[in-house]
Structures are given as structure tokens and as C-alpha cells.
Amino acid sequence: MNALRRLAALTAVLSLALLCMGMGGFGDTDIVKKIPAPDRSFTVTILDDTDTTFTVSDFSVEGLTLVPVHLGKANMAIDFAKVKNVTLFEQGSELAATIVLSDGSTKKVTMSPKTMFYGRTPWGLMQLKAGDIKEIHF
């Protein structure tokens, strides 16, 4: 009788474990459900690494309207209002970025390819890593 109880308990535990493992993955999608509200409104045109161009409004980096870059060892943030366009190139584990400012001057900096940009397109919400972007035109 004891052996039968052990077998029933083992069967119940294994069944419960299988059910719990099978529940993982529900709702695990790449759908962008919401974006951070930007501190100011900017509309940009993006060219991604598949040569797809699209217009994005409410463009931001996690709600901030600053381009996070590295110049030498310094971390910097360039105000979107001062940027005319950004061109990105792969450079090892970072991205090399050429930023043309509204006054016509150019800055060569680096950026993390994991930097996440957000915005709205005419057909839905957008989330895009810097590593997947070739150009941003403000």
C-alpha cells in the first residue's frame, strides 16, 4: 500500500511539474505595447540596416530627447534640438557615429549598439536598437 501511495504522489508531482513547465512562453512576443512619453516632441526619418526608411514621431531614447554618446572616455548627451542627422557604422563592439549638428559642425563619437530608440509610426509603435540603424534625420 505504501508503494502505491508513493507512486501516486510521484505521478502527481511529475504531472504538476510538466504542467508548470508547459505554461512558460505564453504571451512571449516582440509586440511593442507602449513607449515612454518623450519630454519633447521630435519627428525623424530613420534608415535601418535593411535599407527601410520610415518616419517616426515622438522619437526618444527611453523618453529622453538626447543622443547618448561617448567621446573618448566621457559619456555625453547631445540634445536632439541641436542635431541635424546621425550616421552610424559598426566599429567592433560599439557603433561609430558621425553627428552633424544644426550649426553645420560635425562630431565623431561612439555609441552603444544596445541603445534603444522609441517612437510612433503612422501604423504603430516602434522600438529599435541603435545597432539596427544606419541614419537618423531630424
pLDDT tens for residues 11-63? 554 555 544 555 555 555 678 889 999 999 999 999 999 999 999 999 999 99
Rounded distance between C-alpha atoms, residue 36 and residue 41, angstroms: 12
pLDDT tens for residues 71-92? 999 999 999 999 999 999 999 9
Domain positions in the chain are 44-137
Q: CA nearest 58: which of 42, 46, 47?
A: 42
> What pTM, to 2 d.p., does this model score?
0.77
pLDDT tens for residues 94-134? 999 999 999 999 999 999 999 999 999 999 999 999 999 99
